[in-house]
Amino acid sequence: MKVNSFPSPAVGPRRSVALDDCEALRLLGSVSLGRIVFTRQALPTVRPVNHVLDDGGIVIRTHEGSALTSHTRHGEGSGVVVAYEADAIDPATHLGWSVVVTGYARLVTDPRELARYRALLHPWVERTMDYAVRIRPDLVTGIRLTAADGPAGRA
C-alpha cells in the first residue's frame, strides 16, 4: 500500500493557549467557513458550511431535503445539540487558532429574519437555500497555537 507523504515543514514546538469566550467568538466571526457537527442516524456527521455571526448566534443557510434541515425541523423545545468549528491555521507554520461552539440549533422561521439572512449570507454552492439555522452558543472553547520558546515549551 502506497502512502502519500508530503514534506513536512520544519517547525518548532507549539503551545496551545486557551481563548476566552469573547475572543473565540470574535475570531469565529472573522472567517466565513466552518464545519457543523450533528447526528444523523445516531452517528456524528460533519458538513463544511459558510456562516455569519449575528447577535451572538451562528447562522448558516440550508435547503429542503438536507439532513440538517430535517434534523432541526424535528427538534423539540430548545432545538437539537450541534457543534460548530472554525479555524485559521497556517499550513506552513502551524500557527493560528481553532474555535468550537456547542449549543442548540433551531430553524429560523420568522420571514423577516429569513429575508435578512438571505441578504447577509450567500452560500457557496449553487443551490436554492430557503432555510436558515441559528446556533445559540452554550459552550465556547478556543485555542491559539503559538510558537513555544525553549525546549520545555515555555513562552
At 67-115, the pLDDT tens digits run 788 778 776 677 899 999 999 999 999 999 999 999 999 999 899 999 9
Residue ranges making up the domain that contains 77: 14-147
- How many domains does the chain fold into? 1
Residue 141 lies in a domain: yes
Residue 97 lies in a domain: yes
- Residue partners of 93: CB distance under 8 A and separation at least 6: 9, 11, 147
Under the banding of pLDDT at 50, 70 and 90, the label for residue 116 is very high
CATH number of the domain encompassing residue 23: 2.30.110.10
Residue 54 lies in a domain: yes
The residue type found at 28 is: L
Rounded percentage of the chain residues whose pLDDT exceeds 70 = 88
Displacement of CA 13 from its chain's centroid (Å): 26
Q: What's residue 122's pLDDT?
A: 86
Residue 3 lies in a domain: no
Residue 69 lies in a domain: yes
3-state secondary structure of 30: coil
Residue 71 lies in a domain: yes
Residue 153 lies in a domain: no
Identify the CA nearest to 134 among candidates 84, 92, 94, 98. Answer: 84
Q: What's residue 79's pLDDT?
A: 86
Residue 37 lies in a domain: yes
pTM equals 0.84
